[in-house]
Amino acid sequence: MSDFLISFWQTYNTLFYTIFIHGMLGLSIYLTLACGLLSLGNAAFMGIGAYTSALLTMKAGFPFGISLIAGGILPSMVALAIGIPTLRLSGVYLAMATLGFGEVVRVVLLNMEITGGSMGINGIPQKTELWHLVLIMGIIIFFFIRLRDSKYGRAMEAINEDEVASSVMGIRTTYFKVWTFTAGAFIAGVAGGLNAHFTYFISPREYGFEPAVDILTFAILGGTKTFWGPIAGSAILTVLPEMMRFMGPYRLAVNGIILLLVVLYLPNGIVSRGTFISLKKLFSERKSNA
Amino acid sequence: MLRVENITRDFGGLRVLDDVIFEIEEGTIYGIIGPNGAGKTTLFNIISGLLKPTGGRIIFNTIDITGLKPHAITAAGISRTFQNIRIFKEMTLLENVLVGMHRLFSYSAVSMLFELKKKRREEKELREKAYDILSIVRLSEKAGLKAESLSYGEQRKLELARALATEPKLILVDEPAAGMNPAETEELMGEIVRINSRKYTICLIEHDMKVVMGICRRIGVLNFGKFIAQGSPDEIKNNPLVIEAYLGRDETGA
Amino acid sequence: MFYQQLANALALGAVYSLFAIGFTLIFGVMEIITLAHGAVFMVGAFAGYTAATKFGLGIIPCLIISMAASGFIGFVLDLVAIRPLRKKKFHHLAPMIATIGCATIITSIYQGIFGAEAYRFPFDFVPNENYEFRGIQLTQLQLTIIFTSFILMIMMIFFLNKTKWGKAVRAVAENSRTGALLGIPVERVYQFTMIISSSFGGAAGVLTGLNFNTIHTFMGGPILHRGIAVIILGGMGDIRGAMAGGLILGFAEVLSVAYISSDFRDAVSFGLLFLILLIRPSGIFGKKIERKG
Ligand SMILES: Nc1ncnc2c1ncn2[C@@H]1O[C@H](COP(=O)(O)OP(=O)(O)OP(=O)(O)O)[C@@H](O)[C@H]1O
Ligand SMILES: [Mg+2]
């Protein structure tokens, strides 16, 4: 039995690490989605965090913890700079600005010397351990739990439902939006740092538009009614592609199809009452047929 | 209490509000009537900070609130409802009211994270208060239900409760009777009179003149962006300009 | 030298304009940003390429086939991803997310078929001749691109302003509810807008493929970023703004490549977008943006 567990762990431990990192990324975009905003820049924030923390540990010899935090702070500063002009406007602008921003980050990473251009950075010391991931994920979840039943959580939900009505209720909507966008960038940056210190190697390719769509898919599939949604979505979408390797280049299409089907048929995602009700229906139909 | 001074507003080339002047006295119900497209809602949007006026000033209790952000205007003590109900449908009634109370919570993010006493106490006290507010409009029994499950008339009342929750001094109510039958309208007007009797000043937009006649101290008539008359209900009823511009054309109030 | 750059910029910018006017029209009429417009552009380019290489057709039939193919994709997009979401109760982000899903599907199918390598139009697809105007060299290719783009754009403007259908489109863009009251079949107008806008995107794909002498399956991404910059620059939903915005971006890119560095060409559009968001978010010609109560 324990032999089995050991070999299972040896085969799949990467998968566990990845589930945690993807979970954090899913939560990072959830934070903005919960305010009714679409950020397509979270992969780029992850990238900034990954490069920042990797360079700090490798070139400056910073302790891991410090470079992780720096890897969260820099992207959130950048988010602040992008967020303040765009978030005064309707939500569409954020989606578009962040989409363009992701491209810029990729181009900059490709062309800077210190980032190693298209070769990326190799040989990042492997410092991320499972307990780091569990701890940080725990902190994030703790934060979301406390947020849920507070004035801040309610304000975000209200903004998501109706921004104009919220502003008339005395909520400083722009302030909240900037804040959640920035905090989302922080989480994405830390996740990027953790990932960099786990995979040895990072390159600009990992932080372009496609990863941004992946992150979005985590959250949308899982659902954005509660923060458990993105966590579940990330876990599913991390395990699923492993099983779909046989699909080769069409694997990405599966992501697209999931995104489309969920938006159309499960608008609240998998972790929602809708799923519960349709499952119940399914089973009661089965029973009545039998 | 509220003084609207020479408010003008253009949309593109169109002058939707033209030099609107009026004043609302503390503790009264002020009625604004006028046909479709007269600019009534636009006036509310300007007072509540959702739109900026092209010209003019709005003075609230001697403070100039022109051009302030909506949340700042709410903080100054003006709250409103919308013509096309805008409650938070996916939240419970209680949560709707709690959102209205946003400003009254003073605990910090640190309090939130560590569930400090201040947070717990405030949440508890203000929840109780939210129940009280819901009971003003007789909805406290449904406090835990989702707002979307309410009937149309109840949604209107919830929106009023939510407006009350911001602790306003003045409430702007935009056509609350729209889409209601006469019996429901009468009930809602009763509700508004009761709210007014709790020392809230009210400014009420209404389409149907007969509805406001009974409850307003003063009425202003808006037509094509201009205030064509102002006065007591009796004065308005007998004003030839009003009869011509408004009653003659729009008796049904549809 | 400078004037030569202007000629290059004109060819580049004209295609950006062509891409962006469909993009902005969809926003103006349907109030959605379709992030699949880049994929539609790529489909158009490959349709034109296939027509040219497999069937040996000339540029005009190729353009027509490409526009038909991308128009069809636009029709399908509307059918499967946008129309079902038009009902009110969906979240306002839903259509945008659905189009992201579609873009991913389309792109990865094409990557499955065509792989990641670059394809080229036949060598003599457009005769390789040069013309000279007052010292400025213009290739026949550039002339073709500029000419085709402007003809198509003029046709679009003529269509919107002078034909019955065009007026219906504009009426719906103004206000869909009054449009419906006036007896305009709003659903049809939406469908039609998607088709015609997408076909313009497809034509832009062919012209871009010619201009750079390459097409590949990931060409949709960069043009999408530029399209976004252009429609914000020109004011969202503003056709003329999109035309001007495309030209401005074309000039900005060519000049920055010529006088600064070619490495950051892909970042110019974002720089412009960010600048406009900072100083004039309603776009260069736009009126002030306001929230409605
Ligand atoms: N955001 C806007 N942009 C352009 N025009 C607007 C805008 N808001 C209102 N208008 C125009 O301003 C005029 C006044 O509208 P408003 O909604 O204030 O009228 P109203 O008196 O509230 O009418 P109703 O009785 O139908 O509610 C109308 O002609 C309307 O079309
Ligand atoms: Mg109105």
Q: Return the structure tokens found at A288.
A: 């009545």
Which ligand is closest to the CA of C292, given by its number? 1
Report yes or no: A175 and A53 within 8 Å, Cβ to Cβ. Answer: no
Q: Is B185 among the domain residues?
A: yes
Residue A6 lies in a domain: no
Same domain for A141 and A273? no
Number of domains in chain B: 1
Q: Which CATH number characterizes residue B44's domain?
A: 3.40.50.300
> Which of B49, B70, B99 lies nearest to residue A155, judging by beta carbons?
B99
Q: What is the pLDDT of residues A89-109, one digit of tens each?
A: 888 889 888 988 988 898 899
- Distance CA(A38)–CA(C260), nearest Å, equals 33
Predicted model pTM: 0.91
Given CA atoms B178, B179, B182, B188 in this order, what sign does their dihedral have?
negative
pLDDT-based confidence at A204, cuts 50/70/90? very high
Per-residue pLDDT tens over the stretch A182-200: 999 999 999 999 999 999 8
Residues A224 and A256 in one domain: no
The domain limits of chain C are 19-219
The ipTM of this complex is 0.91
Q: With the CA atoms of B131, B132, B135 and B140 taken in that order, what torsion angle do they form, in degrees rounded to the nearest 10?
A: 10
Number of domains observed in the structure of chain A: 2
Is residue B254, in this structure, part of any structural domain at all? no
Mean pLDDT on A268-276: 80
Cβ < 5 A residues, ion ligand 2: B 41, 83
Note whether residue B84 is domain-resident.
yes
In short, whether B39's Cβ falls inside 6 Å of ligand 1 is yes
Residues of C in contact with A257 (CB under 8 A): 101, 105
Q: In this predicted structure, what is the pLDDT of residue B247?
A: 56
CA of residue B226 to ligand 1 center, whole Å: 13
C1 touches chain A (CB under 8 A): no
- Non-local (6+) Cβ contacts of B14 within 8 A are none
If you average pLDDT over every residue of chain A, what do you get? 89
Residue B224 included in any domain:
yes
Q: Is the pLDDT of residue B236 over 80?
A: yes
Contact B48 C287 (CB under 8 A): no
Q: Tokens in use for A41? A: 């820049």
- Name the residue range of residue A173's domain: 13-231
A273 and A176 both lie in a single domain = no
C-alpha C236: how far from its chain's center? 14
Asked whether residue A281 is domain-assigned, the answer is yes
Indicate the range of A239-243, B183-187, B208-212, C98-102 predicted with least confidence. A239-243
B36, B205, B219, C178 from B39: Cα distances, Å: 8, 11, 15, 18
Tokens linked to B35: 């046909």
Answer yes or no: do A126 and A260 share one domain. no
Shortest alpha-carbon distance between residue A209 and chain C (Å): 8
Residue type present at position B98: L
CA distance A139 to A194: 15
Q: Residue A4 domain-assigned?
A: no
Q: What is the pLDDT along chain C (293 residues), one digit of tens a residue?
A: 778 888 889 999 999 999 999 999 999 999 899 999 999 999 999 999 999 999 989 899 999 999 999 999 999 999 999 999 987 677 788 899 999 999 999 999 999 999 989 999 988 888 888 888 777 788 889 999 999 999 999 999 999 999 999 999 998 888 877 778 788 889 999 999 999 999 999 999 999 999 999 999 999 999 999 999 999 999 888 899 999 999 999 999 998 888 888 778 888 888 888 888 888 888 877 654 444 43
Residue reference for tokens 């780029």: A44
Decide which of A267 and A283 is more confident: A267
- Look up the domain containing B226 and give its range: 2-247
Position B253 confidence tier, pLDDT thresholds 50, 70, 90 = very low
* pLDDT of C233: 92
How many angstroms separate the CA of residue A202 from the nearest CA in chain C?
A: 20
Segment A222-249, tens digit of pLDDT: 988 889 999 999 999 888 877 676 777 7
Residue B253 lies in a domain: no
Residue B160, pLDDT > 50, answer yes
Q: Taking 90 as the threshold, does the pLDDT of residue A12 lie above it?
A: no
The pLDDT value recorded for residue C293 is: 39
Shortest alpha-carbon distance between residue C98 and chain A (Å):
5
Band (pLDDT 50/70/90 cuts) for residue B254 is very low
Report whether residue B42 contacts ligand 1, using a CB cutoff of 6 Å: yes
Beta strands (DSSP E) in C187-240 are none
Ligand 1 binding pocket includes B220 (Cβ within 6 Å)? no
Tokens of B16: 């939707």
Chains with at least 3 CB pairs less than 8 angstroms from chain C: A, B
Question: Under a CB-based contact definition with an 8 Å cutoff, are residues A268 and A254 in contact?
Answer: no
Indicate whether A10 pLDDT > 80. no
